[in-house]
């Protein structure tokens, strides 16, 4: 292992920001950057050596590879983390457009919503089945649904998610508004008791592998689509009409009062899904 990769690993181990998935993604991204910098001829680097010329070399390579603006933005978020941890935040501008990285396009108006359907019957692991039901009922991410502790989360009229379960470590709440949600929580209580939906004899990573294997065997793929379905259902409940991605009217077709309702619904759904920016709801709802 070269010095740069080794010292980046040390940096990541000393600064465990975010969820387990976030940390793993960061380490993979920084290891890739280290290898690509070495291939570009920068062979005597350590984590503390990062300079603007290194950032520029990576940017030129990634753009030359034809990577999407979203992928490049994700990689730059890891570079910013690296620069911040070594006290060199000023190396990278805060705005990606200054680097020539196009704004990510969120709007497709093509629905990616997905329901569990009969595929759930093919899931033989009771903990995985429960995690999927919670994903569908509350729009949870995979990690949140696997780490879910009903005894902690259930607050009567809402669920509370720990930062250690969520992307970016951001705690949040999701309201309980349907009998399906309450039924799912009752079932989760019965299964997990005072624990989580990770069996006592497994780690999170082991249970995530079980989850992935069970979904694949049952023909269930892209289960992130359960969040899309949740968002679209919530939008219809909050506004009274379907979202653009689900076949409803586009924003330009709404009158003033409807636009206000649309804005309020998107803010609410953004919070429930754990996003900081309302623009991201266009991925789920269209525009």
pLDDT band at 98 (very low <50, low <70, confident <90, very high): low
**How does pLDDT run across 24-56, given as a tens digit for each residue?**
999 999 999 999 999 999 988 999 999 999 998
DSSP 46-94: -GGG--HHHHHHHHHHHHHTT--HHHHHHHHHHHHHHHHHTT-GGGS-S
How far apart CA 145 and CA 188 sit, in angstroms, is: 11
Average pLDDT, the chain: 91
- Exposure string for 195-218, b = 16+ CB within 10 A, e = fewer: ebbbeeeeebeebbebbeebbeeb
Predicted confidence at residue 109, as pLDDT, reads 73
**How does pLDDT run across 55-71, given as a tens digit for each residue?**
989 988 888 887 777 88
Predicted confidence at residue 241, as pLDDT, reads 96
The answer to whether residues 67 and 22 touch, using CB atoms and an 8 Å cutoff, is no
Beta bridge partners of 177: none
The answer to whether residues 235 and 269 touch, using CB atoms and an 8 Å cutoff, is yes
The answer, yes or no, to whether residue 209 has pLDDT greater than 80, is yes
Q: How many C-beta neighbours within 10 Å does residue 53 have?
A: 11
Which residues, in sequence order, are CB contacts of 251 under 8 Å at separation 6+?
244, 259, 262, 287
pLDDT band at 258 (very low <50, low <70, confident <90, very high): very high
How long a stretch of residues is the chain? 287
């Amino acid at each position: 292992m070269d010095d740069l990769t080794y010292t980046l690993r040390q940096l990541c181990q000393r600064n465990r920001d975010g969820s387990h998935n976030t940390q793993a993604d960061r380490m993979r991204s920084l290891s890739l950057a280290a290898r690509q910098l070495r291939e570009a001829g920068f062979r005597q680097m350590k984590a503390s050596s990062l300079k603007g010329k290194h950032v520029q070399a990576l940017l030129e390579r990634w753009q030359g590879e034809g990577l999407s603006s979203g992928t490049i933005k994700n990689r730059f978020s890891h570079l910013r983390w690296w620069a911040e941890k070594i006290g060199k935040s000023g190396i990278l501008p805060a705005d990606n457009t200054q680097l020539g990285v196009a704004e990510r396009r969120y709007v497709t108006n093509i629905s990616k919503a997905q329901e569990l359907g009969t595929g759930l019957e093919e899931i033989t692991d009771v903990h995985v089945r429960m995690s999927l039901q919670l994903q569908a009922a509350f729009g949870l991410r995979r990690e949140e649904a696997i780490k879910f502790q009903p005894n902690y989360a259930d607050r009567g009229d809402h669920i509370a998610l720990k930062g250690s379960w969520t992307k970016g470590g951001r705690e949040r709440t999701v309201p309980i508004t349907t009998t399906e949600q309450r039924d799912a929580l009752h079932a989760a209580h019965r299964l997990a008791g005072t624990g989580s939906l990770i069996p006592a004899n497994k780690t999170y990573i082991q249970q995530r592998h079980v989850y992935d294997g069970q979904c694949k065997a049952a023909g269930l793929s892209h289960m992130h689509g359960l969040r899309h379905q949740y968002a679209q259902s919530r939008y219809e409940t909050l506004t009274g009409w379907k979202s653009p991605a689900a076949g409803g009217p586009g924003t330009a077709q709404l009158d003033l009062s409807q636009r206000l309702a649309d804005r309020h619904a998107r803010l609410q759904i953004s919070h429930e899904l754990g996003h900081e920016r309302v623009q991201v709801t266009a991925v789920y709802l269209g525009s």
